[in-house]
Amino acid sequence: MHPSRCPRPEAALDLLHLPNVGASTAADLRLLGIQAPADLRGHEPLQLYLQLCDATGRRHDPCVLDVLMSVCHYMESGEARAWWSFTAERKRKWTV
C-alpha cells in the first residue's frame, strides 16, 4: 500500500494495509509466521530478512530489507514512509 494511504497501525488488520506491502511481500511475511500487522511488533528487520532468505533458500534483493525496515518502523512509530527512505540507513547499518 502506498504510505500516504495507510491506516493508523492499530487499525491495520491485514498485511496489505502496511506501507509498501503488496501480495508478494504479504506472502513472504506469512511464510515467516507473520499473519497480521500486529505480529511485526518486536521483530528486527534484519532477522526477518535473514529468516526469509533461509526459508526460501535464496538471497533476496536488499530492497526487501528496506521494505521490512519500513513496516517494522511503521508498526513501532506509526510513521508510514516509502521503502526507499530506509536505503541509506540500511547501508549504514548492514551489508547484505
pLDDT digits (tens, 9 = 90+) for 65-83: 999 999 999 999 999 999 9
pLDDT at 46 over 90: yes
User: In which domain, by residue range, is 62 found?
Assistant: 3-93
Residue range 38-42: average pLDDT? Answer: 96
Tally the domains of the chain: 1
Cell of 11: 487499525
Give the pLDDT band (50/70/90) at residue 42: very high
The whole-number pLDDT of residue 87 equals: 97
Contacts of 39 by beta carbon, 8 Å cutoff, 6+ apart? 33
Cell of 7: 491506516
pLDDT at 64 over 90: yes
| pTM for this model (two decimals) | 0.95
Q: Which long-range contacts (CB under 8 A, 24 or more apart) does 28-32 make?
A: 28/52, 28/56, 28/64, 29/71, 31/55, 31/56
